[in-house]
């Protein structure tokens, strides 16, 4: 019921086939899965309220009346009224602002599926970082965003255009959102949403932005017609992301390292789910009432990527496959497709492969790729990344081979000289091997703990998960310190899950009670559910801090001395 209810409109019997008609729906929406309201305390600046929407996969039906399926695309316009000092942005190609009325008007001139309609409003300022790109962020974050991305986005767009054809959306802007944003990034056309927390992790930031750039072609221009085939967007976007990365960012070695890291994660997920789990299919079956977002997993991305990579290898030269994808985009842009459309287009583009019946090659049949459970039928050759992955494998063996020679392990590598993806790959493998012998975890802490303290959050959270899974009490204070300073789902949930799986649940409860007020209500609720597993109901907690049915945010307007009344972003009027 949070998502609303379906609306059936009976058309007049006298309506002729293909006769144009107009439907007007008057509606009100408040709290729904698509709309995230933030008090100023949940932003970085702590000055003004904030709101953003997240439509993927089927949340936007709680935002405005729509055909909430990727099979249907349309243009849209919207009028948004907001208080003075609040900047409003939408995923649209055109916008105007009537300052006297406080009204923004937006228009998306190209057809998009409902899930790509997005809105954000808050204390946002911008800076140009290229001829068709700018970054939006809270004032305290903007200098960092500029320093990380200035000149880079245009480089990635140009590389993508050389591979897959013209960028059709006009502008490519990026808005950095507060840590309450529930995912890492979202490819809303013209306006990519990215969580601000990722700014400190340079390599993850680069890969995430390039992935969203790739979605401008794969996902936004050509869309999967059904959520049962999300790999058509995510698998192709991941392939394109890695082609763009190879072209623009230090060549194939880094791309192979990033791919090895992701495929490691895929196999880790497979061990958890089991090889026969139906969600590991590329064509997964959606049962009635199941939220498609529940099927978003690494198979969608990495198994999909492996299939696309396999298709590219059938061509012999990846540039030939680039040419096919350019033709595929040109043929299907602004439409939605199914897997058979892609595969038919592929075989028609390469008639010699069709004559060879590559779609029926024993053990690698296209049908088997789509409908078999388990790991990818083939994985890419990552040997070009061995200069970066081999040191990781060597160090991991030194630390996990008995008897432990900690002196040799400690002196073999200086982690501060490694790339982020090398360090996280090493730590992930230690995590897979946990719990480790006490002597090993003790020596690991002595060698690396202080170094890791100064590294980015993607690295630190992995070390802290190792600390928790090994019950290594001397470093537990670092877990507390980390959670006291994190408001992001991606950096809190994994630690709370590990704390509650082992013997440290009371420690987790203590931290949660101390930090709950700095967390978004949705995140508080998720952590409460984790803490409640296997326990009696949690002790009563201040309901004004935890309930998701909090009253409307009525806040002092710090923007304009002329307005002494209160403002509420829940009073923003949106008509779409």
Q: What is the C-alpha to C-alpha distance for residues 560 and 576, in angstroms, rounded to an integer?
A: 28
pLDDT tens for each residue of 33-73: 999 999 999 999 999 999 999 999 999 999 999 999 999 99
Q: Which among 348, 69, 115 has a CA at the least distance from the CA of 215? A: 115
Residues 315 and 458 in one domain: no
pLDDT of residue 250: 66
Residues 335 and 388 in one domain: no
Residues 58 and 196 in one domain: yes
Task: Reply yes or no on whether the pLDDT at 516 is more than 70.
Answer: yes
Cα-only R_g, the chain: 25
Instruction: Specify binding-site residues.
Output: 211, 215, 234
Catalytic entry in 212, 228, 302, 379: 212
Q: How far is CA 443 from CA 454, 459, 499, in A?
A: 19, 18, 22
Decide if 301 is catalytic: yes
Residues 277 and 397 in one domain: no
CATH number at residue 522: 1.25.40.320
- Residue range of the domain that includes 501: 384-533
Beta-bridge mates of residue 566: 556
Inside any domain, residue 60: yes
Inside any domain, residue 250: yes
* SS3 sequence of 265-321: HHHHHHHHHCCCCHHHCCCCCCCCCCCHHHHCCHHHHHHHHHHHHHHHHHCCCHHHH
Q: Are 165 and 146 in contact (CB under 8 A)?
A: no
pLDDT of residue 45: 94
Inside any domain, residue 549: no
* Arithmetic mean of pLDDT, 461-470: 97
pLDDT tens for each residue of 186-232: 999 999 999 999 999 999 999 999 999 999 999 999 999 999 999 99
Residues 319 and 410 in one domain: no
154: buried, middle or exposed (CB in 10 Å: 19+, 13-18, 0-12)? middle
CATH number at residue 243: 1.10.390.10
Residue 18 sits at φ, ψ, to 5 deg, of 65, 10
Residues 261 and 405 in one domain: no
Q: Are 92 and 56 in contact (CB under 8 A)?
A: no
Strands 191-195 and 173-177: parallel
Inside any domain, residue 191: yes
Domain boundary among 332, 351, 381: 381
Instruction: Specify binding-site residues for Zn(2+).
Output: 211, 215, 234
pTM for this structure?
0.91
Helix pair angle (476-484, 505-515), 10° resolution: 30
Residues 204 and 56 in one domain: yes
Residues 277 and 318 in one domain: yes
Q: Within a 10 A sphere around the Cβ of 141, how many other Cβ atoms?
A: 20
Pull the structure tokens for residue 533: 């597993």
Residues 411 and 525 in one domain: yes
Q: Are 538 and 528 in contact (CB under 8 A)?
A: yes
Beta-bridge mates of residue 337: 224
Residues 84 and 208 in one domain: yes
Q: Which among 556, 551, 545 has a CA at the least distance from the CA of 570? A: 551
Is the C-alpha dihedral spanning 99, 100, 102, 105 positive or negative? negative
pLDDT tens for each residue of 81-106: 999 999 999 999 999 999 999 999 99
Inside any domain, residue 2: no
Task: Reply yes or no on whether the pLDDT at 535 is more than 60.
Answer: no
Catalytic entry in 76, 301, 349, 448: 301
Residues 455 and 483 in one domain: yes
CATH number at residue 95: 3.30.2010.30
pLDDT tens for each residue of 238-283: 999 999 999 997 689 999 999 999 999 999 999 999 999 999 999 9
Residues 419 and 337 in one domain: no
* Domain tally, the chain: 3
* Arithmetic mean of pLDDT, 155-163: 98
Q: What is the C-alpha to C-alpha distance for residues 395 and 64, in angstroms, rounded to an integer?
A: 53
Domain boundary among 216, 237, 260: 216
Q: Are 269 and 275 in contact (CB under 8 A)?
A: no
pLDDT of residue 409: 83
pLDDT tens for each residue of 384-438: 999 999 999 999 999 999 898 888 888 888 999 999 999 999 999 999 999 999 9
Inside any domain, residue 417: yes
H helix count then E strand count, the chain: 21, 17
Q: Are 380 and 311 in contact (CB under 8 A)?
A: no
Task: Reply yes or no on whether the pLDDT at 112 is more than 60.
Answer: yes
DSSP run (H or E) holding 507: helix 505-515
Pull the structure tokens for residue 20: 């144009």
Inside any domain, residue 22: no
Pull the structure tokens for residue 42: 């949940």
Q: What percent of the chain has pLDDT over 90?
A: 82
Inside any domain, residue 4: no
Domain boundary among 192, 216, 240: 216
Helix pair angle (386-400, 252-273), 10° resolution: 50
């Amino acid at each position: 019921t949070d998502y609303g209810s379906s609306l059936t409109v009976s058309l007049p019997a006298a309506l002729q086939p293909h006769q144009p008609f107009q439907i007007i729906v008057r509606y009100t929406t408040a709290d729904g899965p698509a709309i995230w309201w933030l008090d100023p305390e949940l932003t970085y600046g702590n000055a003004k309220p904030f709101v953003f929407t997240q439509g993927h996969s089927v949340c936007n039906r709680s935002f405005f009346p729509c055909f909430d399926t990727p099979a249907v695309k349309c243009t849209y316009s919207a009028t948004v009224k907001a208080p003075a000092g609040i900047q409003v942005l939408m995923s649209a190609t055109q916008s105007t602002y009537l300052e006297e009325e406080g009204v923004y008007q937006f228009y998306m001139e190209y057809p998009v599926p409902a899930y790509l309609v997005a809105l954000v409003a808050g204390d946002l300022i911008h800076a140009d970082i290229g001829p068709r790109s700018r970054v939006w962020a809270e004032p305290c974050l903007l200098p960092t965003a500029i320093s990380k991305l200035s000149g880079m986005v245009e480089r990635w767009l140009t590389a993508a255009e050389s591979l897959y054809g013209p960028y059709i959306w006009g502008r490519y802007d990026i808005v950095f959102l507060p840590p309450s944003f529930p995912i890492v990034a979202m490819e809303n056309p013209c306006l990519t949403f990215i969580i601000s927390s990722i700014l400190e992790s340079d390599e993850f930031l680069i890969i995430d932005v390039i992935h969203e750039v790739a979605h401008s072609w794969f996902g936004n221009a050509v869309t999967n017609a059904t959520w049962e085939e999300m790999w058509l967007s995510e698998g192709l976007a991941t392939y394109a992301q890695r082609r763009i990365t190879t072209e623009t960012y230090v060549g194939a070695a880094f791309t192979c390292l990033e791919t090895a890291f992701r495929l490691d994660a895929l196999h880790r997920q497979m061990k958890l789910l089991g090889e026969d789990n139906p969600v590991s299919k590329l064509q997964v079956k959606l049962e009635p009432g199941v939220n498609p977002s529940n099927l978003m997993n690494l198979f969608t991305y990495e198994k999909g990527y492996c299939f696309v990579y396999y298709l590219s290898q059938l061509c012999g030269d990846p540039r030939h496959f680039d040419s096919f994808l350019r033709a595929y985009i040109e043929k299907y842009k602004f439409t939605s497709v199914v897997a058979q459309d892609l595969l038919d287009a592929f075989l028609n583009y390469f008639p010699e492969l069709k004559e060879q019946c590559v779609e029926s090659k024993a053990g690698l049949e296209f049908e088997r790729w789509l409908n078999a459970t388990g790991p990818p039928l083939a994985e890419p050759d990552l040997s070009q990344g061995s200069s970066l992955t081999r040191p990781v494998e060597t160090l991991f063996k030194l630390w996990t081979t008995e008897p432990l020679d900690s002196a040799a392990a400690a002196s073999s590598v200086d982690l501060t000289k490694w790339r982020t993806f090398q360090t996280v790959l090493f730590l992930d493998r230690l995590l897979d091997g946990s719990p480790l012998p006490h002597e090993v975890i003790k020596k690991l802490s002595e060698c690396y703990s202080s170094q890791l303290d100064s590294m980015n959050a993607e690295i630190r959270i992995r070390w802290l998960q190792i600390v928790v899974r090994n019950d290594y009490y001397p470093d537990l204070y670092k877990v507390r310190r980390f959670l006291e300073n994190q408001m992001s789902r991606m950096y809190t949930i994994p630690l709370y899950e590990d704390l509650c799986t082992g013997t440290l649940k009371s420690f987790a409860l203590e931290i949660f009670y101390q930090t709950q007020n700095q967390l978004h209500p949705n995140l508080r609720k998720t952590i409460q559910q984790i803490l409640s597993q296997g326990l009696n109901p949690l002790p009563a907690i201040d309901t004004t801090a935890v309930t998701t049915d909090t009253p409307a945010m009525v806040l002092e307007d710090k923007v304009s001395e002329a307005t002494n009344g209160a403002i509420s972003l829940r009073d923003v009027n949106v008509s779409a």
